Structure 1
Amino acid sequence: MTGLFRQLRRRRLARRPFPPDWLGYLDARVPFFARLSPALREDFLTKLKLFAWEKEFIGAGGMVITDEVRAVVSATAVQLVVHLDLSYYDRLREVIVYPDAFLLPDRTGVVLGEAKNWGTVILSWQAVLSGLQDPEDGHDTATHEFAHVLDRADGAFDGTPKLRSYSHYRAWAVVMSEHFHALQEGRSVERQVMDDYGAVNEAEFFAVATESFFERPHRMRELTPDLYEELKRFYGWDPASGT
């Protein structure tokens, strides 16, 4: 889809009213939705409906894609780009949803989520709901996988998404590298903030740090304030302050 065609299509979709039933799904399933300010909520809902209607949702393993699934999964994706731009998801074409944990040919053991290089995110519906139900446990599969998509938006899974300004890259590299290597070394401070899985590589570190930024913002701000500030500058959120 060319950039011009995408813009025209988004303008047309944006004029369509937000489905009233979807508000009920958000109220019931998405705790952070209730905390959005009125001004932010309007932009959030616009981006949510565009994401939901642009991306192809595919059920797998007996999963049926309902409006509830489409709205709730889209909400988890859009939370990351409310202060950014929906173009971060331009490379993403489809979202495949399984009812629960699943197997993949190229992975050993069961999987809860996966972001593929060619524009696909695969999610467990139960993992999506679990990540939303406990917003302070530091684990949110959907947030993790959609963070990978943002990372990939500039062409590679390397732990560095397209930042807001060229001048931000130096500080980003210094801060992210320091905490990534500290997590690899098992330093207690980083382990109190992030899951050990973030030590696998830089891409996983960014995704795990994103989970903690949204789910454990107070702990991250207290124990790794420089990491918190870099993520806040990128995402535009200050979740520790509720904004």
Structure 2
Amino acid sequence: MFSFIRQFRRRRLLRRPFPEAWLGYLDARVPFFRTLSPELRQPFLDKLKVFAWEKEFIGAGGLEVTDEIRVVISATAVQLVLHLGLSYYDRLREVIVYPSAFRIPDRTGGVLGEAKNWGSVILSWESVLAGLRNPGDGHDTATHEFAHVLDRADGAFDGTPNLRAYSHYRAWSAVMSEHFHKLQQGQRRERQVLDDYGGLNEAEFFAVATESFFEKPRQMQEKTPDLYEELKRFYGWDPAAGT
């Protein structure tokens, strides 16, 4: 029942015209948008407007949510699911945006982003922009946190999202586990591609690997080709080839 209502609402949003001003935000702030092929641009824009209007964006720490903030963050989310579908974000209800690093009870220091169990993503707008300004450094807070949302879509933060086919799980588990443990051991190839934070647990490994897949695809393809192939099969992208 809820799925039917959601699909009905998404079809209604899809029929609304894409605001022309939003294209300016994408051109100015989102480098990967400019590289999209003509075949992918319209599906990307369709999913972006549905995500931007469907999810609740909440300003925190004195930040007022503008269309620019809504559009840019939505673009980072949609990049991950362009070949998967918005259903991977069905559990996500709201995106909370702080102007910069924020604090969380029982955590020391400032936090740049966090994905919550109950359907929230919290982001630092400053960090979102920093990740987009440096598209090849392997660090992108928004990509990292939305990867956690994909991971959580099957009910747990465990580093394994809902894969495209049941037959994919065995290879996924073997490849992810191998490189996760090698990163924990500090092996050179993994550290050349992946941030050490990915060694914290399987969920963080998947999120860190997703950042590198989109931001350092050629390095990942060269140093850890099997990891690259698993992520390519899941996301449907081949960023090393520019597609």
For normalisation by structure 1, the TM-score amounts to 0.99
- Are 2:60 and 1:60 equivalent residues in the alignment? yes
Structure 1 residue runs of 5 or longer lacking an equivalent are none
Q: Which residue of 2 aligns with 1:34?
A: 34
Q: How does 1:82-231 map to 2 (within 5 A)?
A: 82-231=82-231
Q: String of CA shifts for 1:31-79, please: whole Å, max 9, x gaps.
A: 0000001110100000000000000000000111000000000000000
AA in 2 matched with 1:202: E
Aligned-partner SS, 2:81: coil
Q: String of CA shifts for 1:168-189, please: whole Å, max 9, x gaps.
A: 0000000000000000001011
Aligned-partner SS, 1:8: helix
AA in 1 matched with 2:18: F
Aligned-partner SS, 2:122: strand
Q: String of CA shifts for 1:192-218, please: whole Å, max 9, x gaps.
A: 000000000000000000000000000
AA in 2 matched with 1:48: L
Structure 1 segments of 4+ aligned residues over 3 angstroms from their partners: none
Aligned-partner SS, 1:163: coil
The alignment-based identity, stated in percent, is: 79
Q: Which residue of 2 aligns with 1:232?
A: 232
Q: Which residue of 2 aligns with 1:20?
A: 20
Looking at structure 2, the residues matched to 179 and 98 of structure 1 have their Cα atoms a distance apart, in angstroms, of 33
Report the number of matched residues: 243
Deviation at 1:106, TM superposition (A): 3.3
AA in 1 matched with 2:111: V
Looking at structure 1, the residues matched to 238 and 107 of structure 2 have their Cα atoms a distance apart, in angstroms, of 35
Looking at structure 2, the residues matched to 210 and 153 of structure 1 have their Cα atoms a distance apart, in angstroms, of 16
CA RMSD of aligned residues (A): 0.7
AA in 2 matched with 1:93: R
For normalisation by structure 2, the TM-score amounts to 0.99
Looking at structure 1, the residues matched to 106 and 38 of structure 2 have their Cα atoms a distance apart, in angstroms, of 44
AA in 2 matched with 1:239: P
AA in 1 matched with 2:82: V
Deviation at 1:19, TM superposition (A): 0.6
Aligned-partner SS, 1:108: coil
Aligned-partner SS, 2:58: strand
Looking at structure 2, the residues matched to 107 and 202 of structure 1 have their Cα atoms a distance apart, in angstroms, of 20
Structure 2 residue runs of 5 or longer lacking an equivalent are none
Looking at structure 1, the residues matched to 165 and 6 of structure 2 have their Cα atoms a distance apart, in angstroms, of 24
Q: Which residue of 1 aligns with 2:49?
A: 49
AA in 1 matched with 2:105: P
